[in-house]
Every structure is written in C-alpha cells, then in structure tokens.
Chain A
Amino acid sequence: MDWRGWAEIVFTIALTVAMGWPLGIFMARVWAGERTWLDPVLRPVEALAYAAFGIDRNKGQNWLGYAGAVLAFSAAGFVLLYLQLRFQNLLPLNPQGFDGLSPHLAFNTAVSFVTNTNWQSYAGEATMSNLSQMAGLTVHNFVSAGTGLAIAAAVARAFATDRGENLGNFWVDLTRTTLYVLLPLSIVTALVLVAAGVPQTLLANVEASTIEGAKQVISLFPTASQEAIKQWGTNGGGIFNVNSAHPFENPTPFTNLIEATSINALAFGTVIAFGRIAGARKEAKALIAVMIILVGTAAAAIYASETLTPQPAMIAAGITDAPSNMEGKEVRFGPAASSVWAAQTTGASNGSVNAMHGSFMPLGGGVAMFMIQLGEVLPGGVGSGLYGMVVMALLAVFVAGLMVGRTPEYLGKKVEAREIKFAMLAVLILPLAILGFSAIAAVLPVALEGLLNKGPRGLSEILYAYSSAAGNNGSAFAGLTANTPWWNTTLAIGMLLGRFAYIVPVLAIAGALAAKPKLQPTAGTLPSDSPLFVGLLIGIVLILGGLQFFPALALGPIVEHFQLLAAAASR
C-alpha cells in the first residue's frame, strides 16, 4: 500500500466520471433523435436499417410493445448465436479447426452473451473460431449493451411523459445507440489499443522458437476490436481465457487505464442522459454521488485487503516483502490497479478482470462478490445500472413515505402499490437465483466436483458463480470448472432470470409511471437531490441489496478471513 496506489484509484474513478459526462450529454441527443455531427455518415445507414426492418421510426410503443420487442430481439439473437457456436466447425474463418461447442456449452455461452453477462465457461483461445469471436460474440457485445441502453431511454421517457403510454421505439433506440454511440467509441478505442500493443489480426497463431530452444505457440486474434466493445458495453467476455489479465488484451498500464475507465464511463453517462431526458439533472447527480461513494469505498476496501492481510504461506516461506498479494496479479498492474478494476467491474456487471478474483484475499474477493449482490447498480451495466438504480430510488422514496405517512413521489410521479410490487418482484429475483441455486449446488456431488479450493473458499466459488450469473456480471472465482452440464445449464438459467425477470417488471413500472400525471413538487415532497436522499439511497442499496446475502457471506469470505488470521498467528 502506498500513496501512488491511492492516487491511481482516485484518478481512475475521477477520469471515468469525467469521461461519462460528455458521453451522457451526447447520448441524450441521440435518444431524443436530434442531429449530431455523425449524421452525414450514419443517417443513410440508419434509414436503410429501418427500411429493412420494416418499421416506422416515428411510431412509438407502449410498455408491452417495447418489452415484446426486447424479448423477440433477444430470442432471435439467442437462436442464431446458439447455432453459430454449435456448428462453428462447418462455418468459415476457423483457422485452428476448432470443433463445434457441446450443446450445454453453446447454450450457456449464447445465453451469456445475449444477456450481457459474458460468463466464460470456455477458454477463448482454445475453443472459439475467429468467426465465432467476431460475428458471434462481438456482435452481442454491441447489441446486448444497446438493448440495456434502449431500456434506460424508455425508463427516462416514462418520467418525462404526462399521462401517456409512449415509451419510444425499441428498434430505433437500439439502432441509434449502437450506431451513434457504441460503434464510434469502439472504433477509436480499438485503434488506440492496437497502437499501444494489442493485436488485431486474422492469423490464428504463430509458432516461436524461444531463446532456450523451446517451442511456444502464441495465440493471436482480432483482439482489439472485441476488447474495445467488451469494456464499453460492460460485457466482459474476453478473447482469451484470462481476459484483461492477458498481456495481449491489456499489455501496459496505459491500456489498463483506458480499459478500466471504459468499464464505467458509459454507465455514468447513462445517468446524465437520464437526467436530461427526464428533466431531472440535479436528481441524476444525486444518483451519481451514490454510485461514486459506493464504488470508491469498495475499491479502497479491496486495496486494503490485498495489501494488509497477513499471508500464512508467505510467512512460512520467510518472504518478508509480503504482504501485498500478487498471486493472480500482473507485475505491470500491481495491487492498486487490480483493486480498482475489481471494484469497477463488479459494480458494473462488466465481469472483465485484470487479476484473478479467485486468488484475492478473503475480504477483497468478498467485497467483489458483495458488489455484484448489491444489484449491479454501482454504476451498473450500461443501461441496466440506471434502471436498476431507479428501482432502488423508488424503493427509497417509498420507505421514506412510510416513515412520514405520505404518498411518495419520485421525479414528479406518484409511487403507488403497483410500482412497488413490480420493484420488489425485480429485486427479489437476485436472491432467489443466487441463494436458491447455491444452496442446491452446495450439497450436490455433481456440482461440487467442479471446485478447485476446499472449505469456505469452495463455498465462495459457488456463491460467486451464481452471483455473477444472476447479476449478469460474468467474472468468476475461476477455480471453479464450470464447463459441465450442471454448471452450464443452471448458470444459464440464473443469467436469464437476472436479465429478463428484471427487465419486464422494470418496463411495467415505466408504463405505469408514464400513465400518471406529472406533478409539481410541493412542501411535502422529499427532495431527491439532497445529501439526505443520497444517504437514504445508500442505506436502501446496502440493506435491501446486501442484507439478505450476509449469512451466506459469513460462511464464505468472512470465516475464511478469520481462518487466515488464525493460521498467520500460529506461524
């Protein structure tokens, strides 16, 4: 632990928010259908797309229509991706001659990418053909992110609507977000990454003869183009098995800074865009404050854990330079860059990693897991973080309303029984999927076979896996061997629940809110831009999102921490 580490953590988060701000302003223009400087190039492409889709760009959808479009699009994407992965051996651009994926792995991977989870049951460099990486996984990195952002736009419009039902048009939101925001960002980022050392080639691999005469087969891919969107789209599914810890995905501290900031920048930007469209700029800043406070606290906690926890194995071997934990970390990043990344990726449903969370200290790994369990709203996945945080905000004003005995309002909309029921439905999906599946897996021999570590760390591997799946995160305590029928299938079900059993209630809330009159604040309205509200919302996120997981965490990371202290003391 040193001042440079702290400076790097603060700088990374500050730069992320600073990048998100202008992106949010731009995104609000894109969602409003306004002209942008990209119009001369992209307008014709957009018009062509709508003609081919057979849709009228000016025709809005109510919440059911919007939700139906989201589900239809996701289903079509799933079927195509499943077939593409299952039969990649029959398709072109497969220079390594990889086989098609097994049915359960193809199912898991297709669900994983359609739901913006990007859990990797596969080792990319040993499984996926170039075509699968490009025309399969990269495409879904874009469109699953575009889907999340489109839904955020619809939710924002619900607050701006006065007694209406039009939430916008999903196909237009999806297409515009992808073309005007995600694609240009990715092209620029990919080229910067290549300049800094990330490969971008269609060659499968090269064979090197090392200085000492050994043979080394070096896997190559069109890496940079996928790396860029995997970060911007909070996807996280890497080209390589070890994701952004791989020196080809992330060769220098400079590339690491770019990739770390692009995990969260667009999610912060979504909140800014929401504030502009919903006419609630100050309230949006309050949401951003909550996100910064909690993600910053998590980064600090992980950094402290990774640099201060005594390590019995190191003490036994007489290594006095410990205790910075470097197992699973890269020299070029060190504990600080690995800790802030871990907080950002787990707060964001990104799930890319630049260090192995499975080798983190108990509390460091525990905080990462807890961030996922808080509901992926800090600042969350692109789009999904915003609508998740809006759900939390509705619950916060509801709780405050109960305390003073008034009907709660948020951003000029009365919050009533119907909205709260749907909000609870959404937030209960996470504990149901995580704790339900974990409880079964913890006693099922076929599930336990996949564990690498014993004891509490083994339980953490299970708990982390289902948290990651249901939270649509995608990172792992990778000691778990997840490419088995049990794990692939149940994790995929967790991902589907976490995505769609959340989206549908959220759109139902949006529909209900849009139909209500837009009220002017009165003396009895709880201001939702005050420090008081920020504190209340933090409390709701921690208590509602976190409390239900404490008993499970106590048996995993927390008991492991005390075991570690006891073992270190006995040396």
Chain B
Amino acid sequence: MWSHLRPAIVSMVFFILLLGIAYPLGVTGLSQALFPAQAGGSLIRNQAGEIIGSEWIGQIFKDDAYLRPRPSAAGKDGYDAANSSGSNFGPLNEDLATRIKTDAEAIRAADGAGPLPVDAVTASGSGLDPHISPENAARQIERIAKTRGAPPAQVAEIIAQNTQGYLLGFIGRPRVNVLTANLALDARYPKAQAKP
C-alpha cells in the first residue's frame, strides 16, 4: 500500500494542474477568442450598451404588451438566474393542483376562455426556460395587439420570426424565444414603452 503513496499524491497534483487549471483555462481562452458572444453568456444589450438579459435565460414579463413566460420555480419570485430550480412537485401534490388552477384562471381572464397549452401552466425544470410553445404564444397575440394598437397579423409575424422549429425535422420541439420576441415587438411598435 505504501508503495502506492507517491504515485497517488503526485498523480493527483499532476491531474489538478493539467485538468483543473490548464484544461479549463485553455478552453476558456480558445472560446473567448473564437466565440466571444456565446462564451460570455449570449448577453443582449440595449442601444446604450446596458445588459438587459441573455438570449438563453427567461425573465419575468407582467405587462399586457408582452408575451408572458411560463411559471417559474427559480428563486422566490421566479426567473432568478442565480437560483435555478424546478418545482419538484409530484403529479398528486396539492400545491401543484392549486398553482395550476390559479394560473389557468389568470390566463383565461387575460387571454380569453378555452383550452390552454400545457406549457402555459407548468413550471420548467430550470425555472429559467427562455421559450414558450407556439400555441402558447398564439393565445397571447390578441391581447398584445390590442395593447399596442398593432394589427394581430403583424404581431403574429414578429412572433413567427422569433420561433424555431425542429432540428432535422424531428429533434427538439418548436419554441418561441420570449425575450427576443418582446424586444422585436418593442422595436416595431415602441408605443408600449410609455406604459409602465
């Protein structure tokens, strides 16, 4: 056993230097040089250069002029990008049933009665899901168009421009990026800016 002591300790130090320092720093250097935007977190800035979010991280939208994201269990108020979390509720959990009922009622009050897409009332695994389903977005078009005084067809088109489909026709699911769609809406129909 003692004959193993030197290789055990020296190899651990060797691997820490190679795999713990050189490897991540080397990959960081290469990434920053080759793909600086992605390596930095795909941040989105406004014209003044201030960071308003990341393409991949969902955020809260309450205003009627915006697409609304899914419910979120990240942090106290949801979409806390320093505290990712799902609800971890099992399907028979009473708190889950209550949350779904409350959310469904609120959505029907805002966007009209009728069937709801399931992603609109379920919390994502990360609590930071940047996307909603196209069906979920479609249900919100009328409200957004009315609030912004824009033709619904135009709103639908902007949403379509921020929608991605299947990879190779069957991989992943179609999805609308809520943040980029809302930014595109603001750029096209900026009057919503006046509303708090």
Contact = CB atoms under 8 A, between A and B. Distances in A.
- Chain B associates with chain A: yes
Give the interface centre of A198, A226, A356 by most chain B CB atoms within 10 Å. A356
A78 to B, nearest CB: 10
Interface in A135-189: 135-136, 138-139, 142-143, 171, 174-175, 178, 183, 186-187
Contacts of A226: 24
A202 B119 contact: no
A210 interface: yes
Contacts of A72: 1, 4-5, 7-8
B123 A328 contact: yes
A13 B10 CA distance: 39
Contacts of A216: 53, 57, 59, 79-81
B186 to A, nearest CB: 7
Give the interface centre of B21, B91, B96, B118 by most chain A CB atoms within 10 Å. B91
Interface string A186-220: 11001100111111111101111111101011111
Contact of B59 (A214, A254, A257): A214
Interface string A231-258: 0000000001110011110011110110
Contact of A222 (B28, B59, B133, B167): B28
Given A225-B24, A253-B167, A313-B100, A321 B92 contact: no
A359 B87 contact: yes
B154 interface: no
Interface residues of B, number: 101
A138 B19 contact: yes
A94 to B, nearest CB: 15
Interface residues of A, number: 124
Contacts of B70: 331
B125 A330 contact: yes
B132 A4 contact: no
Contact of A331 (B6, B35, B119, B127): B119
A197 B56 contact: yes
B121 A317 contact: yes
Interface in B21-37: 21, 23-28, 30-32, 34-35
B86 A139 contact: no
Given A200-B31, A457-B92, A210 B60 contact: yes
11 contacts: A54-B6, A123-B85, A136-B20, A201-B41, A210-B59, A216-B81, A245-B124, A329-B122, A330-B129, A359-B87, A478-B86
Interface of A: 3-4, 7-8, 11, 45, 49, 52-55, 68-69, 71-73, 75-77, 80, 123, 125-126, 134-136, 138-139, 142-143, 171, 174-175, 178, 183, 186-187, 190-191, 194-203, 205-212, 214, 216-220, 222, 224-226, 240-242, 245-248, 251-254, 256-257, 309, 311-314, 316-322, 324-334, 337, 353-356, 358-359, 361-362, 452-453, 455, 457, 460, 477-479, 560, 563-564, 567
Given A203-B40, A206-B43, A247-B57, 15 more contacts: A71-B4, A72-B4, A126-B82, A190-B31, A194-B31, A199-B41, A201-B32, A212-B63, A240-B126, A248-B57, A317-B101, A327-B96, A334-B173, A478-B86, A560-B92
